[in-house]
Amino acid sequence: MSLIHIDLGIKDYKETWDLQKETFTDKLNGLNDDIIFTVEHNHVYTLGKTGTRDHILINDKEMSEKGISYYEIDRGGDITYHGPGQLVVYPILDLNRFYKDTHRYLRDLEETVILTLANLDIEAHREEEFTGVWVGEEKICAIGIKVSRWITMHGIAFNINTDLRYFDKIIPCGIFHKGVTSVGKITGKTADFKLIKKLFIENFYKVFTINDKF
């Protein structure tokens, strides 16, 4: 078995979620290699299993008028936004090949983002209370996963050139007192999305190779 990267380009959330579920089911049945999907979504808010609809600050009519989709989904975590300029990554992995440790998996996803930002001379870190990756007091990458029988799905949302105004209409990840940021906001210019995606995939392989399973 190997790890295959598939870039989906720009796709609506529902289409990609269906693809994830199909791939996840195949993995549960012992089919397919491990796969890492990368994608940009059209504007969408997604609410995880531990979230509350109260953290959405606009109503359905306003969402429709702004062209924003909404889905309640089966990952952990609260409300988040996906949209153009954001690198979304969905690893469908069999953790039996790596380690049976969900917390370690989350930390390894964070480490991949931290290394990628370091490649861009941006210093990022973890916050003890929260999952995700932070630059200063602002979140640059949200993480929400599902693991069943040690097969993973869902993943990360990494703000590259994201229009951060869409976060104003939610309480991101249910965190009231911290903001969000992006590579573009930090550097003051449009970031090279393709380069950052390439760096992320390279770092993903490095982090998971360090775990001696590739």
Residues annotated as catalytic (active site), given as ranges? 173
Pairing status of strand 3-11 against strand 34-41: parallel
CA 200 to chain centre: 12
End-to-end C-alpha distance for the chain, whole angstroms: 9
Q: Say how far apart CA 116 and CA 125 lie, in whole Å.
A: 12
Pick the closest to residue 27 from 99, 107, 95, 106 (CA basis).
95
Asked if residue 122 lies in contact with residue 183, where contact means CB atoms within 8 angstroms, the answer is yes
Neighbours of 168 (CB within 10 A): 11
- The burial of 169, by beta-carbon neighbours within 10 Å (0-12 exposed, 13-18 middle, 19 or more buried), is given as middle
Question: Which residue, chain included where needed, has tokens 């808010």?
Answer: 45
